[in-house]
Homo-oligomer: A and B are copies of this chain.
C-alpha cells in the first residue's frame, strides 16, 4: 500500500532513499470502505492523510441537514482539516470515503518530527501550502464573480476525473449552486452538443 506514496514522493524529487524509509517508518496504511468516516465533526484532526487510492471528500453538515463540500481528494493528494490540525481544536468538518479507498496516515507529532529532520519535506510542505493558498484564492474569485454556468464549466475542466466519479448533487454542493440549477445547465449543454 505504500507503493503509490513512494512513487509520488520520489516524483517530487525532494527526498532521499533514507528519508523515504524514515517517512514510511512513521506511517500507517489503512483502508476505508465507501461512506466510512476518517474524521468526524467535533473530533480533533490528528493526522496528515495521503490518498493512495480512491476518493475522499471533506464536507460540513448544515443545521438544516444539507451538506456543503469543501474538498475532493483523489489519488496522490493530501487531505486534512488544516484549522483543526494546526490549532488542535474540534473540527467542523467530516472527511468521508466516496469510494473504497486506501490512505497513509501520519500522526501530527510524527509528521512534525519528520519536518524537523527532513528539511526538503518542510520545503515540499510549504510549496503545497502555497499551491493550496493559490487554489483557494482562485476558488474565492470564482465563487464571488462567476455565473453558475462558468462555475460548472470550470469544475469540469479543472477536475475531469473527479467529475466523472461523483454524482451531480455533490458537484452542486461543492460549487454552492443548487442541484436544480446544475441539472438545467447540464441539460442545456447536452442539448447544445
Instruction: Identify the A interface with B (CB < 8 A).
Output: 60, 62, 68, 70, 82-83, 86, 126, 129-130, 132-134, 136-137, 139-141, 143-145, 173-176
A70-B140, A176-B143 given as contacts; is B82 within 8 A of A134 (CB)? yes
What DSSP secondary structure best describes chain A's contact surface? helix
Contact A137 B68 (CB under 8 A): no
Contact A82 B133 (CB under 8 A): yes
Beyond A143-B176, A144-B173, 18 additional pairs, beta carbon < 8 A: A60-B141, A60-B145, A62-B145, A68-B144, A70-B140, A82-B137, A83-B134, A86-B134, A126-B129, A129-B129, A129-B130, A132-B133, A133-B133, A133-B136, A139-B140, A140-B140, A143-B143, A143-B144
With the chains together, A137 CA to B68 CA distance in Å?
A: 12
**Minimum CB distance partner of A136 in chain B:** B136
With the chains together, A67 CA to B136 CA distance in Å?
A: 19
Number of copies: 2
Contact B133 A68 (CB under 8 A): no
Contact B70 A176 (CB under 8 A): no
Contact B83 A144 (CB under 8 A): no
With the chains together, A130 CA to B125 CA distance in Å?
A: 12
**Minimum CB distance partner of A142 in chain B:** B143
With the chains together, A82 CA to B126 CA distance in Å?
A: 13
Smallest CB separation, A123 vs chain B (Å): 11
A/B interface sample: 30 pairs, CB < 8 A: A60-B141, A60-B145, A62-B145, A68-B141, A68-B144, A68-B145, A70-B140, A82-B133, A82-B137, A83-B134, A83-B137, A86-B130, A126-B129, A129-B130, A129-B133, A132-B133, A133-B133, A133-B136, A136-B136, A136-B137, A136-B140, A140-B140, A140-B143, A143-B143, A143-B144, A143-B176, A144-B173, A144-B174, A144-B175, A144-B176
